[in-house]
Amino acid sequence: MLHTDEKWKCFVDNAIHYEAESWISSIWLGGVERVDGAKLPHGWELVEYNDDHWNHAVPFLAPQLDHGLLTPWQLTSRTIPLLYEEEKFFTKVMRAQEEAVYSNDIFTKKSDPLTIAQGTQFIIELDAGELTTGYLNIKVSEGNGTKISILTSECYEKEDPKTGRRIKGVRDEVSEGSKLLGDSDIYVVCGTQEGLEVYEPFWWRTFRFVRLKVEVGDEPITIHSFTYRETGYPLDVKANFKSSDATMTPLWDVSVRTLKRCMHETYEDCPYYEQLQYAMDTRLQILFTYSISGDDRLARKAIFDYHSSLLPSGMLQSRYPSVLPQVIPGFSIYWILMVHDHYMYFGDDELVKRYRPTIDAVLDWFERKIGSHGLVDNLTSSYWNFVDWVAEWHNGIPGAVSKGPLTIYNLMYAVALQKGAELNEWTGRPDVAREYRERAKKLKDAIHSLCWSEKVGLFQDGPNVEEYSQHVQIWSVLLGDMEDEKAVKVMERVLNDHTLSKVSYAMAFFLFRALSKTGLYHRSFDLWDTWREMIKLNLTTWVEDPVGERSDCHAWGAAPLYEFTSEILGVKPDLPGYKRILIEPELGNLSWATGSVATPHGLVDVAWELSGNEFSINVDGPEHVPLALKLPNGECFLYSSSRNINHKCLLRYYDEVGKQ
């Protein structure tokens, strides 16, 4: 327990200020630093530091527990592990003012110090080898008055001379006109204290490339080191994947890195621009985490965080924790899906019971928005109706919003009612489950009556609005609103009709789910070309979206972590809490695949191979967990244990049966 009474001592730090109008960081992250080294209490963290000139702390507020009054800060035990820290050097010098003079290897390994003459300017650009997050640290001596600027950037890029629009290409290409864009932390060297002077910004930075600029004053300065400590959530990656398609291996590796870079004290949409935990991103990141590590600690914290953001209206905030509240109604749906996902993987009844009232509040908010036509309406003036980053949509919102209800929001609400019904059924509230199913049925009927175009054979983006998107068709399939044959036809249109508004990387996850549901998952293998194109640009993490490409690291694009484990290897929970494992591999255009998938009960190793018409599969999982095996020829087998299962079959059998 931490008791901060008057025995503590304190010092007002006037050395550090935050730049309020920097190019990127100040909008969301609080600004970059401006530090006067001469005003810092150097060495305060050392045991031998003399703190005689520091003041004693003054108690702010004494607890009054007898009357139930609470202090403003209610501390609780930390529920997630401490972030890891690992000392790193840069991998290479990208560009320097004078290559011959400044090619010193002090920046890429432990080396002799580098002294820079007085009255000169030193600029060097360094590559960390991959996009990362870490605490930058520079150690210097002497150099009183020297100004050190540290700019962090995701990539090299150009600017359109007419519009000023940023142009991103090959991310590590240094050419005429290419430059690093970003904000700089600035430190003015004291240079008068004994020993080394160390500057490290308070918060970690995100970068692949760093531009170090040293403007030397009246005395030379010596750089003893410039390194960083990589940091992040200590994700233990237990899963792995290989296949006959070698191009899938880098997709896996980049996805793991992207996910890790978006995990710290919370999940994050992106580590460079916002570092905010958004529900859409987080739901996908949680599923990816389950598949490769089986770790739910950060997921449980995220679920609690969103629950804690509940507004009096019944809505959850779309990002939380956050200083500025923001609501995207659909993102509350993703939170309900998070709770459902957790139950499928871990079967924690108490967690669901804890959050049932919040689920009720969200679903009741949507129900209050039902208009006379039976659809969720009246959202335009309330909150941000974001769906996806789509070229044809303004600000991520379907154009149909100006004409009435959005079909996509009604479909999402209906799916949430179904998931909410299951959660209540599983945890002992059958009457609530029945009510939710009845509400979902009424809503499905209204959607089909008002939003289906018999002429076009697709669902409209809004009632009587001749605008169509992949998004609406995908969610109609996920809702289960159509017969199997009709659903297959709709998904064929999604893949082949290029007039439809297309999903971005985030919504691609739901496209994959709809293809799996309709038996068309083999068509998904061509979709990985989008990710392969990013690899060609020498990206080391996945970009935010194909429209703006603002961020070079957005973990909602790390879909291979789920698809390769849950679909190609085929490992999924068959019963809540993984009480039975389902293995249903998708072959696509592969001849073999092998790997390990994390579950709460331990790893499941899968190796399958297709040789001619003969399919063989080997499975080794937890001995105490039953297994359901669904083979590509349609045969199903149940085993009392997942340990050492071997099976072979002829795919010709399925073809012949299908023709009969």
DSSP characters for 146-161? -EEEEEEES-EEEE-T
CA dihedral 255, 260, 265, 271 (to 10 degrees): -70
User: 225-273 pLDDT, tens per residue?
Assistant: 999 999 999 999 999 999 999 999 999 999 999 999 999 999 999 999 9
Query: 581-583 and 627-630: which strand pairing?
Result: parallel
d(CA 551, CA 554): 7
Q: Is the pTM of this model over 0.85?
A: yes
HSE on the CB side for 169, CA within 13 Å?
Answer: 11
Give the lowest-confidence range in 66-70, 155-159, 495-499: 66-70
Q: Please, which pLDDT band fits residue 6 given cuts at 50, 70 and 90?
A: confident
pLDDT cut 70: percent of the chain above it: 95
Q: Is residue 218 within 8 Å of residue 144, measured between CB atoms? A: yes
Q: Do strands 205-215 and 184-188 pair parallel, antiparallel, or not at all (unpaired)?
A: unpaired
Residues 6+ apart with CB under 8 A from 92: 108, 126, 127, 129
How far apart CA 564 and CA 273 sit, in angstroms, is 29
Give the residue carrying structure tokens 């085993």: 639
pLDDT in tens, 515-546: 999 999 999 999 999 999 999 999 999 999 87
Per-residue HEC secondary structure of 464-517 comes to CECCCEHHHHHHHHHHCCCCHHHHHHHHHHHHHCCCCECCCHHHHHHHHHHHHH
Prior bond of 321 cis (ω within 30°): yes
Q: How confident is the model at residue 432 (pLDDT cuts 50, 70, 90)?
A: very high
- Which is nearest to 530 in space by CA: 251, 283, 260? 251
- Give residues with Cβ within 8 angstroms of 384, minimum separation 6: 318, 326, 327, 328, 395, 397
Edge-to-edge strand ranges of the sheet holding 636-639 = 571-573, 581-583, 627-630, 636-639
pLDDT at residue number 426:
98
Confidence of residue 660 (pLDDT cuts 50, 70, 90): very low
Structure tokens at 48: 């031998």
Mean pLDDT on 468-479: 98
Label the pairing between strands 156-159 and 179-180: antiparallel
pLDDT(206) > 60:
yes
DSSP state letter for 265: S
295 vs 79: CA distance, rounded Å: 12
Per-residue pLDDT at 102 exceeds 60 = no
What's the pLDDT score for residue 21? 64
Distance CA 442, CA 421 (A): 14
- pLDDT (0 to 100) of residue 58: 87
Checking if the pLDDT of 65 tops 70, the result is: no
Tokens of 46: 């050392």
pLDDT tens for 364-396 read: 999 999 999 999 997 766 799 999 999 899 999
pLDDT computed for residue 59 by the predictor: 80
Q: Which residues contact residue 562 at a Cβ distance below 8 angstroms, ignoring those fewer than 6 apart?
A: 284, 287, 288, 291, 509, 512
Provide the pLDDT confidence category of residue 203 given band limits of 50, 70 and 90: very high
Give the rounded distance of the alpha carbon of 539 from its chain centre. 16
Residue 99 has pLDDT above 60, yes or no: no
Q: CA–CA distance from 589 to each of 264, 512, 528, 609, 650 (Å)?
A: 37, 16, 12, 12, 17
Q: What is the mean predicted confidence (pLDDT) over 564-582?
A: 98
Cα–Cα distance for residue pair 490/457, rounded to 1 Å? 8
Q: Three-class SS of residue 629?
A: strand
Amino acid identity for residue 383 in this structure: Y
Min mean pLDDT across 7-11, 146-150, 317-321, 628-632 is at 7-11
pLDDT at 197: 94
Inter-CA distances, 197 with 36, 88, 194, Å:
12, 19, 8
User: How confident is the model at residue 548, as a pLDDT?
Assistant: 77
The confidence score (pLDDT) of residue 100 equals 47
pLDDT for the residue numbered 1: 54
Q: Roughly how many angstroms between the first and final C-alpha of the chain, as a whole number? A: 73
What is residue 658's predicted lDDT score, i.e. its pLDDT?
A: 36
Report helix, strand or coil for 193. coil
For 151-162, the pLDDT digits (tens) are 999 999 998 888
Question: Which token pair is 217?
Answer: 């004053």
Average pLDDT, stretch 26-44? 86
pLDDT of residue 73: 77
Phi then psi for 69, rounded to 5 degrees? -80, 140
Residue 318: pLDDT above 50? yes
Confidence of residue 625 (pLDDT cuts 50, 70, 90): very high
Element containing residue 286 per DSSP (H, E): helix 279-293
Structure-derived torsion over alpha carbons of residues 156, 157, 158, 163, reported in degrees to the nearest 10: -150
Q: Alpha-carbon distance 35 to 568, whole Å?
A: 52
Q: How many CA atoms lie within 13 A of 646 on its CB side?
A: 1
Average confidence score pLDDT of the chain: 93
pLDDT score recorded for residue 657: 37
Q: How many CB atoms sit inside 10 A of residue 294's CB?
A: 20
Using alpha carbons, select from 421, 530, 409 the residue that is nearest to residue 459: 409
